[in-house]
Amino acid sequence: MSIWDRIGEFVARVTSTAATGVADVVEAVRTIFEGDAELRRRVSFSIAMIALSAKMAKADGIVTQDEIRAFQQIFSVPPKETRNVARLYDLAQADVAGFEAYAERMAGLCGSGRPNCAMLEDVIDGLFHIAKADGLLHEREGLYLHRVAQIFKISEEHYQSILARHLDLGEADPYTVLGIERGKPFDEVRRHYRKLVAHNHPDKLIARGLPEEFIAIATTRIAAINAAYEMIERGFRHL
């Protein structure tokens, strides 16, 4: 059974019991998937992405066709489950609870409790992917993402590295993208780069709960890391 079948069953069950807000949704994930930690992580990630995407759209006030397409790139939803995903998205948008309440609940659900939780970084990356789909990261979207990252206990330095990955490399500092200080010997830069590539390999992301359907996040991240490293490498060659 695919992750979407599971989510479809979950959404049908939650909405049938008159759940109307974030507390109901989160508690339902805790109880329904209590006996399967791996499935719980995968569903948690999916719910976080759908709910926080909905809240981001509401905060920005505009949902563009580009953002819808970006959402669909991450969420390759089978036609039979589209309605259930839409129900969850609408539930999140209609909930009177603010996005901070959602982020706090999702942080606990996804296993936060330590700084720079990798799975929560995956959620932030997915939200960036959607936010920048129209070619511009709007101010309200930027403020939203920054605040969600703070609630997720992602350090400011690490957040700046995530942000830099999503900027055009004409604007972003490649050292910031890699999360390494300028002035380091090239051998150290290369070792750091290889660790990043290994840590962010799609298999690693799947192992920590990222559903296979959302691997676009992993490939986009690796592309940004590779581009930053190549820029630094060219700079050393010209020394």
List the pLDDT tens digit at each of the 239 positions of the chain: 567 777 777 777 776 655 566 667 777 777 777 777 777 777 877 888 888 888 888 776 766 677 777 777 777 677 887 887 888 888 887 777 788 887 887 787 665 556 767 778 888 988 998 888 777 788 888 999 999 999 999 999 999 999 998 877 566 789 999 999 998 999 999 999 999 999 888 777 777 666 665 677 778 888 899 999 999 999 887 65
Q: For the chain, how big is the Rg over CA atoms in Å?
A: 18
